[in-house]
A and B are shown apart, each in its own frame.
Chain A
C-alpha cells in the first residue's frame, strides 16, 4: 500500500475531523470530495505533516510517518495558492529542494532542464512569481514539488483558480503524471474533476 491513513482524528478550535481512513495503491489517482469546511485541506496537511495527528496512524510505503516532521515525509503538496517563494526567481524556486539535498550546481541545472521542458516553463526561469499567470504559477509549483520525487502527490483544488482553457491543459498534465505511476490525492469540490481524472473518489462529510 502506498498511502494508508488509519482512523486519523484531529480537532482545532471548534473544528473536529471525524475518524478518517483511506488506502491508496501505487499509481492510484483518488479524489477527495466534500463541501467547504469539511476538512479536506486539513487531511492533506495531516498527511504532509503540517498538522499533528491527534489519534490514528499515517503510513507511506509501509513505514509509519505519524510522528515524523514534514521535511522527513516523502510527500509533495501543491497548495491552492501555489505558495511560490516571492523573493526567488522561478529557477531558484524549482532548485530549492535540490539545493537542500546537497546536489551540485551542474547537476541541479541538468535536472531542472529536463523537468522545465516537460512542463513548458523553460522560458520562465528568470521571472519572479508575481509576474506569472495562474497557469504558469501552477506549473512552476508542480515542477518544484516534483523535484523531491514524492511517493504521494497531494493536490489542493488544483483546477479551481484556473480559467476554462488552462483547466483542460492542467487536467491533461495531471493525468499524464498519474499515468507515469505517481500516486495522487486530489482535493476538490467539483464532481466533474473526479470524472475527468480520478480512478475513484472518497467523500468527506461535514
Chain B
C-alpha cells in the first residue's frame, strides 16, 4: 500500500504552492483589464493623468506579476515531480490543455508584458493600447485553459480507459473544451479576479484620499475600479459556479457536503444558512434553514431532487463492490491478456473501475476485500462536511460584501463625494485582504471538495502520488515554505513601498 504520510505531505505541498500561486493570479486577471480601461480612457481623452494611472498601476501590476510567473513555474512541473502516477494516468487528456495554455495564451501574455513596460515610446498610442489589451485577454485565456484542465478533474468527460497503456485516453477534445463545469468555473474564477483587482485599486486609492494626497488621481482610479468591481462582484455571486455542481455524480457529493445536507429532501431542497454539523452521527445538531432556497439556486428548477450524503454513500457501496470486480478483471488480464472472461468482466464494470481503486487505500489484495473495506471506501466518497460548509459560507458572505461596497463606491464616486466619506474609505482599506480570503476558500471548496479523488470517479488521490518518500516531500515542502516566504516578504516590501509613494515613483528615484 502507498504510504498515507506521503499522500498527506504531497497534498499539503500542492495546496500550499497552489494557494500561494493564487495570491498573484487573481490580481493579474483583474488589474490587467483595469489597465486597459485606464489606457483606453487616456487614448480617447488624451489626458496625461490617465497615462500616469496606467503606468503607476502597471508598476504594481509588474511587482505582482513577477511572483505569479515564479510560482507558476512550480505548478507546471509539480504534477510530474509529486503526482507522477496521476501524470501518467491522465496525461493523455490533462496535458493537452496545459500545453495549449502555454502555446496559445502564456506566450502571448509574456511577450506583451515586455512591450507594455518598455514599448511606451516605441509604439503609437493605438498600438500600445492593443498590446495592453492583448496582455489582458491572454492572461484571461490562460485562466480558461487551466480551468478546462481543472474542470476535467471535477467532471471527467470525453475519455476512456485503455488497459494496454493503463491510463485514461482522450475520446473527444470538444467535450473537454465545452465541459459545462469549465464554463461555470471560468466565469466564476475570472470574475473573482476582477473583483480582486478592483478591491486592490479601491483600497489603495482610499488610502490616498484618507491621507489627502494624489486626490485627483485616486478619485479617477476609484471611479474606474468601482464600476468594474460592481459588475464583476454581481457576476461572481449571481453566476457562482454552484450551477456546475449539479453536473456529474460526484459533484453532487461536493454539493451535499458544502450544504451539510445529510438526508435527501423533496425538491426543492431547503438551504442551511447556519448549522453545527456532526460528522460522526451524520446529522446537523443545530440548523437555521431557508425553505426551497437551495433547490432553486443549485438546480434552477423546482422539481430536481438533490441526493443527501447518506444516500450518496449508500449508492456508492454498490459502485465500489462492482469496481473491485473491474480491478480484479484487469489484474487477470495482466497475467493473461487473452482471458476472455476477464475482458468481459472489465467491460461490464469499467465505469466503476475508479471506485474499485478506492479500496487500495485499505488493502493490496483485492481478491479478499471485506464488506467493511467496501463500506469505508464508499464512506470516503463524500468529503468532510465542516470545512466545506464553512469555507463556502464565508466566501459567499464576502461576495455579498463586495457587491455592497462597490455599489456604494460607485454611487459616491459618481456624486463626487467619495473623498468625504472617511469611514467608508477606512473600511475599503481594511477590505484589502478580503478577496484573497474569498478566492482561497473558493479553491478549498473546489479541491478539498473533490476528495477522495484527483479525477472524480476515475483516480483516487492516494494512488496519484510519485514514488518518493514522505520525508523527501516534507523536506521539499519546507523548502517551498522558506523560499516562498522570503520572496513574499520582498514582494510585499516593494508593493507597500511603491503603493505608499504613489504616482511619484514615475518621476523620482526610489531609495
B is bound to A: no
